[in-house]
Amino acid sequence: MTTDNSPTSGVQLLEVAPDHAGQRIDNFLLARLKGVPKTLIYRILRKGEVRVNKGRIKPEYKLQAGDIVRVPPLRLAERDEPAPLAQSLLERLEAAIVYEDKALIVLNKPAGIAVHGGSGLNYGVIEAFRQLRPDAKDIELVHRLDRDTSGLLMIAKKRSMLRHLHEALRGDGVDKRYMALVRGSWPTSKKKVAAPLLKNNLRSGERMVEVNPEGKEALTEFRVLRRFGEFATLVEASPITGRTHQIRVHAKHAGHSIAGDAKYGDEEFTREVRELGGKRLFLHAYQLKIELPDGQPLELQAEVDDMWAQTLERLGA
């Protein structure tokens, strides 16, 4: 017979503050019940063991200010505190901040760092910032960037900012522009790629996206920034919709895949760019324009890293 010596919490009654009105119950619990396995949180929701105002609710229930959430006793993970992250990583991310106020952080995320833990990773940008800003209890990613994509990433420190920016993202209140180095000579006349995208999860758990009429509509606007003969073109890409891997798949669909793209790229083109020192995905979120809740415009630009800059210098030569 085995015994589980993990510590157990007692019954908890959590009152919903006005800041959390409109948040789904599952997200509310995931943020509050640190050290409780995610699978357990979803299980108690499915089984109806979480009560709101003494009544049963569904996992998609949206909270209202003043709601009283009753959480049953739970088994906690062995280690309630996340393992401290390497000081060098924390310092690198702190140095990457390009804007911060009391409700928002924007950083120039380096290529190769995931935005959150999972898929075999214990940590990502958001876990790092929870350690860097322990007083910001509601810190959350506003949106995502692929692990190998660099550039401007928004992190909300307050629920009100998260709500404001999610609303802006759903409309056209956020202008995000990327730079990409693509194969071949991109025609100046090709200003848009409109192609529906469908997500597939492979058996390995990897996500692949393809152009498919059954997918969700997707639109990316492109503009030529600089040409490197017939070999490559530096383009600006503005995703009008926000689908997974959208720019990468649309570039491939247009016949001009992005350098360093192991998933959707052209191996020969990537190898030739690597030989110039470009050992990364050449996709960078370089410009961001938003309106802050007080109506003030915020416009930011993020520099490319040395590897990117040197590769383009060698290409130009």
Q: Tell me what the mean pLDDT of segment 220-234 comes to.
A: 97
**Banded pLDDT at 2 (limits 50, 70, 90):** very low
* pLDDT of amino acid 77: 52
Which two tokens mark 77?
């993970």
Query: Would you say residue 4 has pLDDT above 60?
Result: no
pLDDT digits 0-9 by tens, 7-51? 566 788 999 888 888 888 888 888 888 767 777 888 888 888 899
* pLDDT of amino acid 30: 82
* pLDDT of amino acid 7: 59
> Collapsing DSSP states into helix, strand and coil, what is residue 78?
coil
105, β-bridge pairs = 100, 155
Pairing of β 104-109 and β 150-156: antiparallel
Q: State percent of the chain over pLDDT 70.
A: 91
pLDDT digits 0-9 by tens, 172-183? 889 999 999 999
| Radius of gyration for the chain, computed over Cα atoms and rounded to the nearest angstrom | 22
* pLDDT of amino acid 32: 83
Residues with active-site annotation: 146
> Collapsing DSSP states into helix, strand and coil, what is residue 18?
helix
> Collapsing DSSP states into helix, strand and coil, what is residue 28?
helix
Query: Would you say residue 3 has pLDDT above 70?
Result: no
Which two tokens mark 22?
């409109």
Query: Would you say residue 282 has pLDDT above 50?
Result: yes
Domains of the chain: 12-71 (3.10.290.10), 83-171 (3.30.2350.10), 172-316 (3.30.2350.10)
* Helix ranges restricted to H, the chain: 25-32, 38-46, 87-95, 125-132, 159-170, 246-253, 267-275, 306-316
* pLDDT of amino acid 79: 46
Stated length of the chain: 317
Q: How far apart are CA 188 and CA 233, in angstroms?
A: 10
Query: Would you say residue 317 has pLDDT above 90?
Result: no
* pLDDT of amino acid 19: 83
H helix or E strand, kind and range, residue 225: strand 219-228
Query: Would you say residue 1 has pLDDT above 60?
Result: no
Q: How far apart are CA 58 and CA 173, in angstroms?
A: 32
**Banded pLDDT at 137 (limits 50, 70, 90):** confident
- Of 74 and 141, more confident: 141
8 A C-beta contact, residue 32 and residue 14: yes
- Of 231 and 34, more confident: 231
- Of 87 and 244, more confident: 244
8 A C-beta contact, residue 85 and residue 132: no
> Collapsing DSSP states into helix, strand and coil, what is residue 118?
strand
* pLDDT of amino acid 118: 63
pLDDT digits 0-9 by tens, 51-96? 999 888 887 889 999 999 999 887 665 444 455 667 888 888 999 9
* pLDDT of amino acid 29: 87
* pLDDT of amino acid 76: 64
Query: Would you say residue 206 has pLDDT above 50?
Result: yes
